């Protein structure tokens, strides 16, 4: 695929599903699936960058994931911190900008500190934006955006007659990012799972039965190729 071709999606979003099932199928603890899944994040990030994708948003931890056992959620954020420590220099070397969306302030202080450090150290990079959705829920995002808009109207900063879709988008966590062109979901599930509900209104959706730890660079390239075969009409 030609890098930066008009048919390369500018923004790809991925629901990375199947880590736990992958581990269970192998008689392993769930954290083993998350570790294997983290390795796939590295190769997909590299593939996206090589293709000329501008933004890659990965659904890493939802607001609903707190229902999981505490030992698992603690291990997940410990793994995130370890990966950020390991990969920070590589992100800088590869000109990749790191960002995160969601209720970051509600996760562990240690993970927050590392997230903010890597955001700061990569903020001037101009290549791919690697955007992690952490403690993220789209309904909550929309409600919070509505609250912020209402408060700005109350303060006189915003006039209600000026509210439109573009203005509303600016109040979302993803403000400044293009809407996803392509949404990929692994593990064969046909659900959105409270992910980017506003932003994926016109996204092409690609579902694969592969569990996330089995997802390869070739699979990512095939998803993009399928996107390129589709005609996007936006209701026209």
Which residues are catalytic, by number? 17, 65
Alpha helix (H) ranges present in the chain?
A: 19-25, 30-51, 70-93, 109-122, 138-155, 165-169, 217-229
Distances (CA, A) of 105 to 79, 141, 221: 18, 14, 35
The beta-carbon contacts of 109-114 under 8 Å, at least 24 apart in sequence, are 110/77, 110/81, 111/77, 111/78, 111/80, 111/81, 114/80, 114/81, 114/84, 114/85
Q: Which residues contact 201 (CB under 8 A, 6 or more apart)?
A: 179
Decide: helix, strand or coil at residue 8: coil
Cβ atoms 138, 193 nearer than 8 A: no
Its sign, for the CA torsion 191, 196, 202, 206, is negative
* Residues 126/34/104/159 CA torsion (nearest 10 deg): 70
């Amino acid at each position: 695929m030609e890098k930066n071709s008009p048919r390369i999606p500018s923004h790809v979003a991925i629901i990375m599903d199947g880590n736990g099932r992958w581990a269970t199928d192998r008689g392993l603890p769930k954290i083993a699936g998350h570790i294997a899944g983290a390795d796939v994040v590295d190769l997909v990030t590299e593939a996206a960058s090589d293709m000329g994708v501008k933004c890659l948003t990965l659904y890493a931890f939802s607001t609903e994931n707190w229902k999981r056992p505490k030992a698992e959620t603690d291990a997940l954020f410990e793994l995130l911190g370890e990966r950020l420590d390991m990969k920070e220099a590589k992100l800088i070397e590869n000109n990749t900008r790191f960002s995160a969306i969601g209720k970051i302030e509600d996760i562990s202080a240690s993970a927050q500190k590392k997230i903010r450090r890597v955001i700061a150290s990569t903020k001037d990079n101009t290549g791919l934006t690697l955007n992690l959705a952490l403690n993220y829920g789209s309904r909550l995002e929309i409600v919070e955006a509505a609250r912020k808009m209402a408060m700005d109207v109350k303060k006189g900063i915003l006039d209600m007659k000026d509210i439109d879709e573009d203005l509303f988008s600016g109040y979302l966590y993803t403000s400044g990012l293009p809407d996803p062109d392509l949404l990929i979901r692994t593990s064969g599930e046909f659900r959105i799972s409270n992910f980017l509900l506003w932003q994926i209104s016109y996204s092409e959706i690609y579902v694969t039965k592969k569990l996330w730890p089995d997802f390869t660079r070739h699979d990512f390239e095939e998803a993009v190729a399928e996107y390129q075969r589709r005609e996007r009409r936006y209701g026209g």
